[in-house]
Amino acid sequence: MRSLLFILLFIPLTTLAQEKFPAVTIKSIAGKEISTATFQDNEAPLVISFWATWCKPCLQELDAFNELTETWKKETPARIIAISIDDSRTAAGIKKTAGLHDWSFEVFWDENQDLKRALNISLIPHTLVIDKKGLIIKRYTAYVPGNEDKILALLKTL
């Protein structure tokens, strides 16, 4: 009961601050460590999509992003980054899936889901739109066709 009381007191505070994208160490597909702090260059907004090789809606969303890459490039400097949460069971499939789908954006690996946890993500696909200052402007907690158009419209305003 005491624990619940503390949390109920704490949760409302979270609504008062705009969320910053955290700096967490993740990996390249090959296994090289990289900090997510390096994603931000203060010049381009980011679209960060969490996915896994076994998640069909995730693949559908990333394919939709991939098909629109050329259009997006003309309209926004935004970078698209796909972060896999596959564990060692399916991790060998990350490079394969990115190759099979011929994705033109960068793909990284959140090996033990440290970044997913830091962002309080429960389910995937989960997509974040982040402004040039590193603030999370929007979260998409599922993929429905058309999300890519909404994201592009939002990116144009950033």
Partner 1 sequence: MRVLLCAVFLSLSFSGYTQGKSFFKESKLSGSLETNNQYYIDNKRGNILAPTKRFASNTYLNANYQYKGFRAGIQFEGYNPALQGFPTRYEGNKLVRRFIRFTNKRIDIHVGNFFEQFGNGLIFRAFEERSLGLDNNIDGVGIRFTPIKSIKLKVIAGRPRTFMERSPGEVMGGDIEWSPLNREENGKTQLLQVGASYVKRFMRYYGADPNFPQQVNAIAARFNGEYNSINFSGEWVHKSIEANFPNDFIKKKGLILFLKTGWQDPANRLGLQLQFRRLENADYKGNFNSSDAVASINYTPALTRQHTNLLANIYPHAIQPIGEIGGMADFFIRFKKNTPLGGKYGTRLDINYSNYHALDSTRVTTGEGFISKKIIAFGKTKLFRDFNLIIDKRWTKDYKTLLTFINLFYNRTILQGGPYGEVRATLVVTDHYIKIKKNHQLRINAEHMWVNSDEKNWAGLLTEWSFPNGLSLFVSDMTNYQTYKMHYYNIGFALSKNKQRIQLSAGQQRAGLLCVGGICRFVPSYNGFSLNYTLNL
Rg of the chain over Cα atoms, rounded to whole angstroms, equals 16
Query: Cβ 56 to partner 1, closest distance in Å?
Result: 6
Q: Which of 135, 132, 147, 156 is nearest to 73 (CA)?
A: 156
42 contributes a contact to partner 1 by CB under 8 A: no
70 contributes a contact to partner 1 by CB under 8 A: no
Provide DSSP, 17-29. SPPBPP--EEEET
- Residue 96 phi/psi, 5-degree rounding, is -60, -45
The one-character DSSP state at 135 is: B
Comparing CB distances to partner 1, the nearer of 28 and 69 is 28
Comparing CB distances to partner 1, the nearer of 22 and 152 is 22
Look up residue 143 and give its amino acid: Y
Contact footprint for partner 1 (CB under 8 A): 1-4, 6-7, 9-11, 13-20, 22-23, 28, 30-33, 53-56, 60, 87-90, 92-93, 95-96, 98-102, 111-114, 117-123, 138-142, 144-146, 149
